[in-house]
Amino acid sequence: MVKLDAKIPKGPLADKWDNYKSSVKLVSPANKKKLDIIVVGSGLSGASSASSLGEMGYNVKVFCFQDSPRRAHSVAAQGGMNAAKNYKNDGDSHYRLFYDMIKGGDFRAREANVYRAAQVSTQTIDHFVALGVPFARDYGGMLETRSFGGVQVSRTFYAKGQTGQQCLLGTYSSLSRQVAKGTVKMYPRQTMLDLVIIDGKARGIITRNQLTGEIERHSAHAVVLATGGYGTVFYLSTLALGSNASAAWAAHKKGALFANPSFIQIHPTSIPVLNEYQSKLTLMSESLRNDGRVWVPKEKGDKRHPNKIQENERDYYLERRYPAFGNLVPRDVASRAAKERCDAGYGIGDTGLAVYLDFNNAIAKQGKKAIEDKYGNLFEMYRKITGINPYEEPMRIYPAGHYTMGGLWVDYNLMTTIPGLYSVGESNFSEHGANRLGAASLMQCSGDGYFILPYTIADYLADEIRTPKIPTETPEFEEAENVSREKIEKLMNIQGKQTATSFHRRLGKILWDHCGMVRSADGLEKAIIMIDELEDEFWNDLKIPETAGEYNQELEKAVRVADFFEVGRLMCQDALERNESCGAHFRSEFQTEQGEAKRNDKEFAYVSAYEYNGNKKKETLHKEPLVFENVELKERSYK
Ligand SMILES: Cc1cc2nc3c(=O)[nH]c(=O)nc-3n(C[C@H](O)[C@H](O)[C@H](O)COP(=O)(O)OP(=O)(O)OC[C@H]3O[C@@H](n4cnc5c(N)ncnc54)[C@H](O)[C@@H]3O)c2cc1C
């Protein structure tokens, strides 16, 4: 029987982390050298974890499916990274950042973890500056900041619209330093297929070498998953195409509980779907809403060129509905408001599924150069994709699948329910409740890796110093390898007619329609049946060309899609169980008269954590009650 213990340290909120650090067990330098740690993932969370653990003296092996850690999806992050530095003297503090995140997440996150994330945010920015990340600076040379949704301070540090790229390069440099020192060994082009558990503890992984098709065994004293989010479950999303749930799902099948699977963020400002052959959507960063104004024509079906529509004929609906936060309301609120306008017939363009994001006023006030300095690369990206020059006419945007607040359940140590298995960054569920605030993910990923895991992992490893190197010639490794081989053989042997991509597209549509921005009990029940049927079809009619013993991207996709069916079904189960609306989880049956999310704190102030019972079997729901001692639970208002 799984018992959820969040292991939150005692004491006042602001002191918990300092007290914890002073009392947590330590591993001596001599013993660290004897301990092996596997890190799966080399994005901001994985590379920061690995470089810190390597610097501390552990032996670290890092796996990723790209050819280089620099290509992890984190490279795509655009708008910035939060830190409660209060450089603008606008009233920011650790508590304020903590409060904004708790409120932004609609009171569905654990207080202690969120407060700690706010605390380490300030160290994280200093660390990146020391690594040489070229954050924007003002004329006097001080670090510049901007605002993001759901906050009234300016705490987001940025490098144009390439913050993720610059931070990942900084982190890659610290990782490379460890590789050169021999404390970290990189294993690129490897896909993790399974987790190996020996005597109840995570002791290794099974991987597939993507270039040769070879199945490999790797052992360690602890395993860290830093494998990112599963927003690609929708097929069309703002994520990198390779982002997936498979590593986390393998751990879930082996006993790691999966938390809040239905909490998925739909980002309001993606370039809209242009045609049905599209395989990817491109984000236009939330930072653009600092200067861009969102509007639709006041007249339904107004097909005039946007520049011909006069000021008094435009409905700046976010400013109208949410005067206190205006265009900078949080993402869930902005996305639903765009959907509401489009569903009511005010959407623009051929599909009617788009709204305008307009920089005309900002350019008139600040000049084109100022806007170019802040967002130049995003404007260029938009122009290249759409052929429209956003300096001259408004961008067209629409919500798209983006970020997963759900993920592996972890305690305060970032350990899952499997001893010795950790999860950091977007792959865990821990800090964003039902809706993540913009620029809070890079902050969490780097905070987890640079400043939290290096302490918390010692709490476990201190008891492992007498455990010799873990051998891979054991029945547990044998069995996990066989299961992985059988799964691949089964997929290869179907020899049907339809590609993995075609199934993925259909699965994504089911989830987008029924478990996307708005959900209902009826729609979710139907979706589960449709997913079951589609999954049967997949296992009977999948086509994978070529063989498994070579570079085969179709096989890689098929492995991911096979897992996405199960993930999608759990998302629907979770969305059905949660009979309330909160953050990004909006059930049409539970809304206020003004169409806002209606929480039910009495019955649902908990984290849902699911236990796997076998494919197509309903998962067992465990509840971690959320205790709020430092904030008052209120209806979230941005008016
Ligand atoms: C377009 C876009 C813009 C964004 N902009 C911002 C922003 O401005 N600010 C912000 O805070 N957040 C932003 N985010 C969110 C943020 O980028 C991500 O949440 C964050 O980068 C995730 O980092 P990570 O380390 O958890 O995972 P990732 O960077 O996704 O890395 C995952 C790693 O795991 C590896 N991996 C995955 N599965 C396997 C497997 N089965 N086997 C082996 N390896 C595996 C991959 O190879 C990769 O190395 C943005 C997201 C998107 C989509």
pLDDT tens sequence across 251-306: 999 999 999 999 999 999 999 998 888 999 999 998 899 999 999 999 999 999 99
CA gap 405, 424 in Å, rounded: 12
Q: Maximum Cα–Cα distance for the chain, whole Å?
A: 75
Give me ligand 1 centre to Cα 45, in Å.
8
The pLDDT of residue 439 is above 80: yes
Q: What is the pLDDT of residue 275?
A: 85
Query: Is residue 149 very low, low, confident or very high in pLDDT (cuts 50, 70, 90)?
Result: confident
Q: What is the pLDDT of residue 274?
A: 86
With the most atoms of ligand 1 within 8 angstroms of its CB, the residue from 64, 167, 414 to mutate is: 64
What value does the mean pLDDT take over residues 199-219? Answer: 98
What value does the mean pLDDT take over residues 212-228? Answer: 98
- In the DSSP assignment, the letter for residue 380 is H
The pLDDT of residue 61 is above 90: yes
With the most atoms of ligand 1 within 8 angstroms of its CB, the residue from 62, 162, 441 to mutate is: 441
Query: Is residue 371 very low, low, confident or very high in pLDDT (cuts 50, 70, 90)?
Result: very high
Look at ligand 1, atom 38, and give the residue with the nearest C-alpha.
227
With the most atoms of ligand 1 within 8 angstroms of its CB, the residue from 442, 444, 487 to mutate is: 442
**Which is the closest atom of ligand 1 to the Cα of 191?**
42
**Which is the closest atom of ligand 1 to the Cα of 193?**
41
**Which is the closest atom of ligand 1 to the Cα of 283?**
1
The pLDDT of residue 442 is above 90: yes
CA gap 78, 98 in Å, rounded: 22
- Average pLDDT of the chain is 96
Give me ligand 1 centre to Cα 426, in Å.
7
Give me ligand 1 centre to Cα 368, in Å.
32
Look at ligand 1, atom 30, and give the residue with the nearest C-alpha.
228
- For the domain made up of 267-401, give the CATH fold: Flavocytochrome C3; Chain A, domain 1 (3.90.700)
Q: Please name the helix (run of DSSP H) or strand (run of DSSP E) that holds residue 436, with its range, or none.
A: none
Q: Please name the helix (run of DSSP H) or strand (run of DSSP E) that holds residue 330, with its range, or none.
A: none
Quick count: other Cβ atoms within 10 Å of Cβ 16? 20
With the most atoms of ligand 1 within 8 angstroms of its CB, the residue from 51, 227, 410 to mutate is: 227
- In the DSSP assignment, the letter for residue 448 is I
Look at ligand 1, atom 8, and give the residue with the nearest C-alpha.
79
331 as an active site residue: the answer is: yes
Give me ligand 1 centre to Cα 229, in Å.
6
Give me ligand 1 centre to Cα 228, in Å.
5
Give me ligand 1 centre to Cα 535, in Å.
27
CA gap 439, 428 in Å, rounded: 17
The pLDDT of residue 374 is above 80: yes
What value does the mean pLDDT take over residues 453-473? Answer: 98
Look at ligand 1, atom 13, and give the residue with the nearest C-alpha.
77
The pLDDT of residue 1 is above 80: no
Query: Is residue 150 very low, low, confident or very high in pLDDT (cuts 50, 70, 90)?
Result: confident
Give me ligand 1 centre to Cα 597, in Å.
28
What value does the mean pLDDT take over residues 98-126? Answer: 97
CA gap 264, 276 in Å, rounded: 23
- For the domain made up of 478-599, give the CATH fold: Methane Monooxygenase Hydroxylase; Chain G, domain 1 (1.20.58)
What value does the mean pLDDT take over residues 566-578? Answer: 98
Distance of CA 534 to the CA centre of its chain: 26
Task: Please pick, among 96, 110, 217, 331, the residue that the annotation labels catalytic.
Answer: 331
Q: What is the pLDDT of residue 28?
A: 98
Give me ligand 1 centre to Cα 436, in Å.
14
Q: What is the pLDDT of residue 486?
A: 98
Where are the chain's structural domains? Answer: 267-401, 478-599
HEC profile for 310-326?
CHHHEECHHHHHCCCCH
What value does the mean pLDDT take over residues 215-229? Answer: 98
Query: Is residue 453 very low, low, confident or very high in pLDDT (cuts 50, 70, 90)?
Result: very high
Closest CA to 38 of 63, 21, 5: 63
Look at ligand 1, atom 31, and give the residue with the nearest C-alpha.
43
Q: What are the pocket residues of ligand 1 if the criterion is a CB atom closer than 6 Å to any ligand atom?
A: 40-46, 63-66, 72-74, 76-81, 163-164, 190-192, 226-229, 238-239, 243-244, 246-247, 283, 285, 402-403, 425-427, 439-443, 445
- Residue 350: exposed, middle, or buried by beta-carbon count in 10 A (0-12, 13-18, 19+)? exposed
Pull the structure tokens for residue 536.
């049967």
How big is the chain by its Cα radius of gyration, in Å? 24
Q: What is the pLDDT of residue 249?
A: 98
Look at ligand 1, atom 9, and give the residue with the nearest C-alpha.
439
**Which is the closest atom of ligand 1 to the Cα of 79?**
8
What are 322-363's pLDDT values in tens digits?
A: 999 999 999 999 999 999 999 999 999 999 999 999 999 999
What are 592-633's pLDDT values in tens digits?
A: 998 999 999 999 999 999 999 999 999 999 999 999 999 999
Helix runs in 88-240, H state only: 94-104, 111-131, 163-181
What value does the mean pLDDT take over residues 306-317? Answer: 97
What are 2-25's pLDDT values in tens digits?
A: 889 999 999 999 999 999 999 999
**Which is the closest atom of ligand 1 to the Cα of 246?**
41
**Which is the closest atom of ligand 1 to the Cα of 190?**
43
Give me ligand 1 centre to Cα 627, in Å.
29
Pull the structure tokens for residue 458.
């010692």
The pLDDT of residue 534 is above 90: yes
**Which is the closest atom of ligand 1 to the Cα of 163?**
8
